[in-house]
Structure 1
Amino acid sequence: MRLFYAIDTTPELKRQMEEVRLKLMESNADVKWEPKEKYHITIKFLGETEEKIFPYVEKCLNEVGEKFSAFQIKYKSLGFFPNQKQPRVVWIGTEIATQEIFEIKNYLDESLKIYGFEVENRKFHPHITLGRIRSMRNVKNLISIAENLKFETEPIMCGEIILMQSILKPTGSEYKILRTVKLKG
């Protein structure tokens, strides 16, 4: 099973992000756009996980619910990974991602290390992926539209963390929620 821990978003926020995506699509850039149903923040990607490890993955999720409090996230800005000169991903980032989200990420990294999961070396940037850029066709148009779009939300309460399965299909990946844990408060 391909697994990851994530933060889901509200239906209203997904609708607002979909409006942004539709404006970006006017660039006619060669992008594989994510459907709004898949919008989420990945906290930790586990990748292929043996079924015998699954109880430990669940245990770590439950511990997050016991140890961490609900927190606020404010979404603001569009960006590109790794950068605008060589963009591969277009995303919506967070302005306020309280220390809590970073502490949850670190807790999961440390807790899962003993089960063979690696700790990523790159810095954690909480974001929602809108699309993956396949070629440089019309990327300048895409960047220009992104630079002129304003996107900002009010702070939104994040009260749960989810464990998701990514099912690879010829048409792309599908996500299935396996478990949800509520955060304190």
Structure 2
Amino acid sequence: MRLFAALDLPNEQKRLLSSLRRSIAGVVWYPPESYHLTLRFMGEVRGRPLLEEIDHALAGITAAPVSLELSGVGVFTQAGRSRLWAGLVPSDALTTLQAKVETALRRAGLAAEKRRFQPHVSLGTFQGDPDPDIIRWVQNHNLLRSSMIEIEHITLFHSHKTNDEPHYEACADYPLSALAHTPLRAS
């Protein structure tokens, strides 16, 4: 199973982000139901024991709910594959939560994440460098701001590989303000 821990966005923010979608040649927009803020990508996880360790690690994280505010858009380009994203207002609470997730998963047996945490919500993808239409899209939406939202749980997602748009399945929720969680469903 390809897994990642994330903050799932409320429908109001998903609607706001989906309103940014435009017909731009070469851009594959992600479906709004897939919008989330990844805290830690785990990759392929094999074996029930490690899956149980991950579940236990995420269930043990205690933190206050996190307030988030969407802010601006941009482009990541790496190895010919580019991604359109929406950013977030910097937040110490979010940075602290992500560090707790990283620490808990390392204790569960996962290797340390090599990439620096850059909080964002992926909106779409395209090949190559941004063309004038994509640059214009970024310029038109770089002042994006949402209302403040409060996220009260971490979600463990299973990422299903597809040829075009991503498909994510929520496996478990871990409340930030409570000790109990929704148990992981066996697959």
TM range (shorter): 0.7 to 0.9
Q: Which residue of 1 aligns with 2:139?
A: 147
Distance 1:115 1:63 in 2: 11
In the alignment, which residue of structure 2 is the partner of 1:112? 105
- TM-score, length-normalised on structure 2? 0.84
Does residue 88 in structure 1 map to residue 82 in structure 2?
A: yes
Q: Work out whether 1:45 is the aligned partner of 2:41.
A: yes
Structure 2 gap segments, 5+ residues each: 179-187
Match of 2:173 in 1: 180
Residue 50 of structure 2 corresponds to residue 57 of structure 1:
no
Q: Does 1:74 align with 2:47?
A: no
* Aligned residue in 2 for 1:12: 12
Q: State the Cα distance separating 1:160 from its structure 2 match.
A: 0.9
- Helix, strand or coil at the partner of 2:161: strand
Kept in 2, the 8 Å contact 1:80–1:87? The answer is: no
CA RMSD of aligned residues (A): 2.0
Sequence identity (%): 25
Structure 2 Cα separation of the partners of residues 80 and 4 of structure 1: 21
Confirm or deny: 8 A CA contact 1:163 1:178 kept in the other structure.
yes
For residues 140-162 of structure 1, the C-alpha deviation after alignment (integer angstroms, 9 at most, x for no partner) is 21111221223111111111110
Alignment check: 8 A CA contact 1:109 1:118 kept: no
3-state SS of paired residue (2:16): helix
Which segment drifts farther, 49-58 or 72-81? Answer: 49-58
Residue type at the aligned position of 2:138: A
Give, in whole Å, the separation in 1 of the partners of 2:83 and 2:169: 22
Q: 1:167 to 1:87 in 2, by over 3 A?
A: closer
